[in-house]
Structure 1
């Protein structure tokens, strides 16, 4: 019993410190929380929590503040992330539904998330490595060059030059395009590459063998493109208000290191708990500039979960496991951030981006299909 009450005391300290950012003493805990024991007992519990490494006492103060271990215990006990209020969800929806393109949606999502949390928001655009093929067009652009225009399930358009020794007839190019679109739509780019190689060997396609092989190579190289194309960031100015200047220089350096940040957030968004949100506190990020910061991240755009959480956005967390995320959305703030609010906001924005991608995917599909049905 003492242990579980002690952990209730820890939780109360974390909640109070997140709210006030002042060291928490036993008197205020007794006053503000119904812990059902005397302040002397709470003092003992706090001393025990300090011995166990969950709390620390700043020199000048009678109160205590949580350590990384204290925050970690607190975050791990947040079994469910409270959905945002109806008004907040409507706000997100109306803000993002005005997006004219995927890029616009991602920029808006970063801006919105930083507004909601008052922290730095980071949104990555999907990496081609995780995309599936929706449609490909091949257009002759020079005597010995075709341009392959590849549209993926996330609505991204990638272009790739295909060099050939001699240009085949237009009808032959259209025929291989149609076949590739019929047989490869919905495949990952690496599977599409293999499929196109086998199509290239079929008897009827000898005149476009070289084109097919070049297209397969293009798919294969896109499939290896692990880096998400871009990172959209918003809200760095919020940090300047919440941190002492000595913390800020290494933090801004860390935010500049996009590759490091991507790796960290991408890993985090894949190592989530039951809530579908990953959290790294302080040194857990293994990034020197983020020593006094926490990072909250969630994946979005699960490529094979099409309409299931477009409906309302707050169905069970299991819908988020329907496929691999194609990219992530995250928030970076001080270790004393409001974890519950941040996790809820990150999760909600991730859900809306997933819905945005899948809805746009569905709407564009018939047009792409008419394009190559003969």
Structure 2
């Protein structure tokens, strides 16, 4: 039995890299990959044409402030598009853009030098184009409701991270003591703070892949670290070694680094909205398929934490969104309630059943609930950017 996250039941950080194997897994289950929305925001959007060999950006001199990328995938592979600051810090991203799809990405950006990267096949460093952003933002001050949403979300993230630290410390202590049973008991519980704050995980640079990358996410020469490195040992050999002690110590150090950075991390209304949508994509390609927690089968704990974090971001943005699009607010209220009902079917005491007991038909039901929520959630950033 696994503990559940602190999930809001009423109104009131890109994920690790995902590979085509995740999408293939959905097909094997008869589960459709999340469809990206297609829309048209007019001539102000910056056009990006992605193919299997090119990443063509309509203009490379941008103006600071609110911007929109209109990305068309004209290649034969699923792709993803990133805007990177120096050091590959992610400003915004969109994953799982299927062939023939056009999506819009709304975001805020400051003056400086950046790169747009298209990643056909969702692998590697991508095909990159240099971008320059100039000018002071000439926009009016942020709406007080959005300022409050950002401040409250930062406080929420800090609280979630702080609350999970003692559990992570116990998990690390169990690993170092060679207590496999105790470490397995604490593994999923130690991840709850991380899973709930994942809509803005990319604000913390390389801490995301260091702490949460799966082995399948790694490129040649990259070291396998973090929770999933320890998960593999615990549920395969069960023989904890000096290497596991090293990885446990590093995980705790990285987590404390994350905790210290919450107060200064760059969080914007659009990054909250985009992060919530991207998190649902990750649920569809990792959690629903069982790929995320391949050894421990604690996927439903992650799933519930991700939904809780996405819902919190929406609830805080809701006062502004309702004025811009009351219908969208009503739809999202209903979809979040529906997905909670589906998840509740798998509650067991204070936690959730092991995911290897959930059959293909039940996983399809979970996938349908995710897709039904993801479509209106993809419009949240656009409403916030108005």
Q: In which range does the TM-score fall when normalised by the shorter chain?
A: under 0.3
Q: Normalising to structure 1: TM-score of the pair?
A: 0.23
Q: Between the two structures, name the one with larger relative contact order (CA 8 Å, sep ≥ 6).
A: 2
Pick the structure with greater CA Rg.
Answer: 1
